[in-house]
Structure 1
Amino acid sequence: MDISNCPSCNSLFVMTKFRDVCDACHKEEEANYDKVYAYIRKKINRTASMMQVVNDTGVEEMLIIKFVKTGKLRISQFPNLGIPCEKCGTPIKSGRLCGNCSDSLRTDLQEFEDEERRKAFGNEKKNTYYMKDDQKG
């Protein structure tokens, strides 16, 4: 049992794996979810962008992103909603990084691994010792 401060209102509450906010804030989040879901369920609003949903419902973008990340809202049903890439902010449909940032990270990691291998291989050569044979028999 973890006691924590609510990130929204700073009151103490018992944190569970299902809730990361206090009961009062959870109820408010649920009301906001209902508002967003009712809005985007309407056929005319299914292609609304994130900013349109924020402006028309008054619900904060970060809360809508939370709904998407936790699976409460499925982006597959709403083609113009997206969550921002955690590196560059480009809207994406799933995951944490866009394709470009993911590829860049993969390339950087590969270069780092290659450099570490070169350093390790270079160190092996440096640690090779030769002994001079002074005793000729």
Structure 2
Amino acid sequence: MGELSNCPKCNAIFVKTPLKTICQDCFKQEEADFEKVYKFLRKRENRTALIDDVVEATDVEEGLILKFIRNGRIQLSNFPNLGYPCTKCATTIREGKLCSHCEADIKSQVKQMEREESHKRDLELQQNKKTFYAYMPKSK
């Protein structure tokens, strides 16, 4: 069941559910904005438009267009110059959450951490294997 919440866009009270995160009026406005964006992109001459061109032509804010892309409502395979920012560095990408450079950087850092952990474990094992001998004088 939903809970009462304020709409993050207009502050109106509505019943929030996992699928419904904004009020009905804002939802209708988003749908109208989606139609504007999609109508613009469907035209053959606009299929190669950049995101800035779409924002300028439709007066729909960039964040909302990126939301449409992330939610799969705008398929990037049909629009070669559209994309969304990498989560780490904001470079424009077309799939995943990270650009190839950031992904390689994170993988490199993970491998380095694994090497350090492995080295640390090896040192601990070596220290545990050391045998200590105590000198006991001969009794007379």
TM-score normalized with structure 1 length: 0.88
Which structure has the larger Rg over C-alpha atoms? 2
How far apart are residue 104 of structure 1 and its match?
0.8
RMSD after superposition: 2.0
Equivalent residue, structure 2, for 1:29: 30
How many residue pairs match? The answer is 137
Give the AA of the match of 1:51. Answer: D
Q: Secondary structure in 2 aligned to 1:7?
A: coil
- Separation (CA, whole Å) in 2 of partners of 1:85 and 1:43: 27
AA of the residue aligned to 1:59: V
Residue identity matched to 1:55: E
User: How many Å separate the matches in 2 of 1:41 and 1:68?
Assistant: 15
Could you list the runs of 5+ residues in structure 1 that have no partner in the other structure?
none
Q: 1:2 Cα shift?
A: 4.3
- Residue by residue over 1:60-111, the C-alpha shift from the partner in whole angstroms, topping out at 9 and shown as x without a partner, is 1111010001011001111111011111111111111111111111111111
Mapping 1:5-16, distance limit 5 Å: 5-16=6-17
Structure 1 position 43, deviation (Å): 1.0
Q: Give the match for residue 99 of structure 1.
A: 100
Q: Rate the CA distance shift 1:110–1:40 in 2: closer, same or farther, 3 A.
A: same
SS in 2 for 1:127: helix
The 2-side partners of 1:12 and 1:104 are apart by 44
Q: TM-score, normalised by structure 2?
A: 0.86
Deviation at residue 7 of structure 1 after TM alignment: 2.6
CA separation of 1:51 and 1:122: change in aligned 2, threshold 3 A: same
Aligned residue identity for 1:93: R
Task: Give % identity.
Answer: 43
SS in 1 for 2:21: coil
* Distance in 2, Cα, partners of 1:29 & 1:110: 43
Aligned to 1:60: 61
| Residue segments in structure 2 that go unaligned for 5+ positions in a row | none
